[in-house]
Amino acid sequence: NDGFLNDIRSRPISESDVLQAIAEARTGPVEQGSVGAGRGTRAFGWKGGIGTSSRRLSEDLGGWTVGALVQSNYGGVLTIAGAPVGQELGRYYLRERIGMTGGGVGEERFAGGPDVGTDDGDGSIMMVVATDAPLDSRNLTRLARRALAGLARTGSSMTSGSGDYVIAFSTTRVSDLLAGAPLVGNNDVSPLFQAVIEATERGHRGTSEALPLDQTIEILRRYGVVRP
């Protein structure tokens, strides 16, 4: 509810605000892109937004699903599947100080070429991790912490002015657990960690100025991330 979100930005959040948000929650696909609280977000100096991604483990690893919803509002050096996209496009945190060189950028861009902008690195990113794996609070906390590894993969600097938060929950019913349903143990939770890292890395989608897709795809082709 955009009206509700705009209203609470100008005042402290109260208990009634939380109850109202819960009452207005609805099922179905989650809106993505420049919607709700994602309207004013920026990621790596480009337009941010809200995005989702998920991973499903194979049956021999439990068959569980992990999903991540990411509200991208942070900075650093944009990296997609290992390709230094932000560096190649010339827009990244501390660009004016360190002037990275590599790929097809060239020295002249940093030494007097067009200034395509920079990224101050700050912001506040919110990540919500959901899984159908029966995890207790301890392993849910561990799962949430692994989401930050996915954030790091995107090139985030996690600067002092960036608030990076993760909430994780399981859809397993409490009544099932009370009835003796088995929990996922420590020896079996590692594949879920890998899944949440990958899902979070992909969940920064939702593309101020949008990321130039044609240039980005060309960079990804040059680094072998996508095929020609």
Give the residue numbers marked as catalytic. Answer: 124, 162, 164
Distance of CA 207 to the CA centre of its chain: 12
Could you tell me the two tokens for 21? 């948000």
Q: What angle do CA 55, 61, 62 make, to 5 degrees?
A: 80
Measured CA to CA, the distance from residue 11 to residue 125 in angstroms comes to 20
What number of CA atoms fall less than 13 Å from residue 98's CA on the CB side? 13
Give the 3-state secondary structure of residue 151: helix
Residue 188: Cβ-neighbour burial (10 angstroms; 0-12, 13-18, 19+): middle
Could you tell me the two tokens for 49? 């937004």
- Interhelix angle 2-9/15-23, rounded to 10 degrees, is 170
Residue 159: Cβ-neighbour burial (10 angstroms; 0-12, 13-18, 19+): middle
Asked whether 121 and 76 are in contact (CB, 8 A), the reply is yes
Cα 219 to Cα 22, 79, 93, 117: the distances in Å are 42, 11, 19, 18
